[in-house]
Amino acid sequence: MAGNPRTKNGYSMFEMSSMIQKAIRRCDIPHAAYAAAELYPGYRTLLWNRLLTVSAEDCYGIMTREIMALAQADERLNGKKPADKANMVFLAKAVILLCMARKNRDADYVACHYLWGDRGVTEGEGIDLIDSSEVERLMREEPNFRVPAYVFDVHTYRGKQQGKTRLDFFIEENEALEPRQMSLFDEGSFGEYYQRSHDAGFRLAPAYDQRWKDYMAGRETDPTHNGKDFPDPDDGS
């Protein structure tokens, strides 16, 4: 179906795309690898674009150039190969680097409000970090494989059916980050985002609107106080 594209084993392409980003946030390497395998090579461009987005949106430090280099290497070596001949090492390395990177959501917070260093791993560590047997089990037992519940948020059709909201997304995905890096905006209110949406005419159901106001209470849009109060970014993880 044109409106609901499917991956090689029949999953929704949109749900697999959602799954890989959320699995990376949680350092859930087997599920991230499974989603990558489902999207590759049929949705290669979408997959690498998603990984590039993750590198900037969820990872602390300069990670995007590493993922860009791996994307370029994948295209150079695998771009003209049949799917069964592709060397998956570049994609696997990208998944490992992103899963193991320290996480925070500062870039997304700043983008929502004001714009509207990670340790590398060696090849040997990469092999050790991927639980190949677990990935193979997921693939082998695909008929019984269940997409994790965290995949279904406000950005997916099934998440919307379940009543998931943008506030659920902000709270749950921020709390799920692993390994976590102290963020400048951990205590941010998302108040500017809320107000701008309200001014644009977007209205919330009363219960949801009150829940958002309860969340904002006692929080600040700018916990840095215009750049005067900065936590030490290397203090804690």
User: What DSSP assignment string belongs to the chain?
Assistant: -TTS-B-TTS-BHHHHHHHHHHHHHTT-HHHHHHHHHHHTTTTHHHHHHHHHHHHHHTBSSS-HHHHHHHHHHHHHHHTTS-GGG--THHHHHHHHHHHHS-B--HHHHHIIIII--PPP--HHHHHHHS-HHHHHHHHHTGGG----GGG-STTSHHHHHTT--HHHHHHHHHHT-SSB---TTTTB--HHHHHHHHHTT----HHHHHHHHHHHTT-BS-TTTTTT----TTS--
pLDDT-derived band of residue 48, with 50, 70 and 90 as boundaries? very high
pLDDT-derived band of residue 100, with 50, 70 and 90 as boundaries? very high
State mean pLDDT over 59-74. Answer: 94
More confident of the two residues 199 and 26: 26
pLDDT-derived band of residue 136, with 50, 70 and 90 as boundaries? low
Q: What percent of the chain has pLDDT over 70?
A: 83
pLDDT score recorded for residue 194? 80
Domain residue spans of the chain? 13-102+120-151
pTM: predicted TM-score of the whole model, two decimal places? 0.74
Matching CATH number, 13-102+120-151, of 3.40.720, 1.20.272, 1.10.287, 3.90.550: 1.20.272
